[in-house]
Amino acid sequence: MLDSETYLKVNGGKSLQGNIEISGSKNSILALIPTMCLGEGEGVLTNAPEISDVEAMKGILEEIGIQLICENKTVRITGDIVYNELSKQYVSKIRASNLFLGVLLARFGKAIVPLSGGDKIGNRPIDIHLHVFNKFGIKTNVEDGFVKCEATQFPYKGQTIFLRFPSVGATENAMLVASAAESESIIYNAAMEPEIVDMAILLNSMGANITGAGTSVIHIQPLKQKLMRANHEVIPDRLEAGTFLLMLAITNGRGMIKHVIPEHIMSVISILMDSGVDIKLEEHNIIVDATNCKFDPIQVDALPFPGFPTDLQPFASVYAVKCNGKSTIKDTIHTERFHHLYEMNKMGMVSTNISPMVMIMGKQKLTGTSVIGSDIRMAVSLVMAALIAEGESNIYGLSHIYRGYDNFVNKLIQLGADISIAYKDTIEPIKELKTVL
Ligand code: EPU
């Protein structure tokens, strides 16, 4: 089925109500699967989200000789790496495929991996990753769309590395490469995202000795024995939780978001509370009541964790439409991530975008129409806009949603949204597509 032929039909104006269970984290599992490749034996990831990015990972693993089986929200990984080169077929689909540079370098001291793909959200250089590799004495060369790396000495010695920016992917690659070093490595200005902590926990269960993950300084000791794959539960997806939190809020809804770690999205929770949403926190649940929300304007600065996540920044723009006054949304991480504004213009939204900042006057009326999402968060933020728009909207770009959101449409139906998957001109009975590869 072509992506241009399937779309979501949303009738706006309904208040979302009810409980919803959050799935495992996309960005975590996309780092945990490459991490598993460094070990031997069988590895099991539970609470695995059923998303097409995991299917793309499966394709990459098969190319290097590793088996991945996904069943009932569990991913099993077995086999040994037998190749140190990857083709463009699957690598070009996801950004996290650049972690195979770290995996192959740690195993063989040599890697040839195509430049990775992923969301089209502006320029996404890999200079920090290459800087990390160079520090370990690894020569790097980007040629004809491939990144070619080779260690001058293998195994290499541990290094002290300072990242010019706390890049999530570069921190992950640094941990992978450092885990194979002969002596201690230290990463300064490391990313502090929960996905980094999740990866370090898995590496430690496999036999590594990593301390400091979740802070800006990470220490990685040399291995005492071979890494052995382990069982690990993927953390809940903080971005999915933030998405539904914002959707409940904007529709004056009420309900409970279950199976989350509230500290992972405190930035979103506090902005919504300041705006007038009633939020109560339990250990693993967030209880939301926006039925009497004042919708005070919001000031959002997308920053590395624990700042407001750049991935939820487009949703903040939609929320701002409902506020009583001028909101500002700034993204200094992905400074060009404002494509959703063009599509929302078609729904009647007016905004002033002086990148990396957008100003949005509140109390705007959106009208349903046809819009196209060209990355995961953009597509879902358009669904959020459609939920408050008057009339019917058609949202194209469904395959992007399936890349990162598990059972998205059914979860919205569970909350009472008037949403259905449509194919050409016929609305199909609701059945969630699991992969659109
Ligand atoms: N950057 C560089 N050079 C580098 C690496 C990054 O300049 O070598 C810049 C990027 O261009 C960007 C910023 O640093 O402006 C942050 O990039 P980072 O490396 O932290 O991001 P990433 O590892 O490529 C992950 C998530 C993204 C999320 C970012 C930021 C995964 C698979 N992806 O990407 O998630 O936006 O961190 O938090 O973990 C999404 O889920 O929708 C998504 C795009």
- Residue identifier of the C-alpha nearest atom 29 of ligand 1: 168
Question: Which pLDDT belongs to residue 437?
Answer: 29
Residue 226 lies in a domain: yes
Which atom of ligand 1 is nearest the CA belonging to 376? 42
User: The domain containing residue 340 runs over which residues?
Assistant: 6-23+236-428
Integer Cα distance of 320 and 324 in angstroms:
8
**Does residue 93 have its Cβ closer than 6 Å to ligand 1?**
no
Q: Which of 209, 233, 257 is the last residue of a domain?
A: 233
Look up residue 293 and give its amino acid: C
Number of domains in the chain: 2
Q: Which of 233, 260, 276 is the last residue of a domain?
A: 233
Are residues 300 and 227 both part of a single domain? no
15-19, 184-188, 350-354 — which is least confidently predicted?
350-354
Look up residue 310 and give its amino acid: T
Which atom of ligand 1 is nearest the CA belonging to 165? 14
Q: How far is the CA of 60 from the centre of ligand 1 (A)?
A: 20
- DSSP, collapsed to helix, strand or coil, labels residue 206 as coil
Q: How far is the CA of 176 from the centre of ligand 1 (A)?
A: 17
Are residues 153 and 189 both part of a single domain? yes
Q: Which of 173, 201, 233 is the last residue of a domain?
A: 233
Is the bond into 309 cis (omega within 30 degrees of 0)? no
- What are 399-430's pLDDT values in tens digits? 999 999 999 999 999 999 999 999 876 554 44
* Of 51, 55, 53, 44, the residue nearest 23 (C-alpha): 51
- DSSP, collapsed to helix, strand or coil, labels residue 329 as strand
Does residue 2 surpass a pLDDT of 90? no
Q: How far is the CA of 125 from the centre of ligand 1 (A)?
A: 9
Distance of CA 412 to the CA centre of its chain: 19
Domain of residue 411, CATH code: 3.65.10.10
Choose the residue to mutate in 127, 135, 167 for probing ligand 1, maximizing ligand atoms within 8 Å of C-beta: 167
Q: How far is the CA of 187 from the centre of ligand 1 (A)?
A: 17
Are residues 276 and 152 both part of a single domain? no
* Residue 8 near residue 413, CB atoms below 8 Å: no
Residue 1 lies in a domain: no
* Residue 163 near residue 126, CB atoms below 8 Å: no
**Does residue 321 have its Cβ closer than 6 Å to ligand 1?**
no
Angle made by CA atoms 214, 304, 52, in degrees to the nearest 5: 85
Residue 437 lies in a domain: no
Are residues 224 and 248 both part of a single domain? no
Choose the residue to mutate in 27, 93, 130 for probing ligand 1, maximizing ligand atoms within 8 Å of C-beta: 27
Average pLDDT, stretch 169-179? 98
Are residues 184 and 245 both part of a single domain? no
**Does residue 95 have its Cβ closer than 6 Å to ligand 1?**
yes
Whose tokens are 């969301």? That residue is 119
- What are 135-170's pLDDT values in tens digits? 999 999 999 889 999 999 999 999 999 999 999 999
Mean pLDDT for the chain? 93
Integer Cα distance of 101 and 166 in angstroms:
18
**Does residue 337 have its Cβ closer than 6 Å to ligand 1?**
no
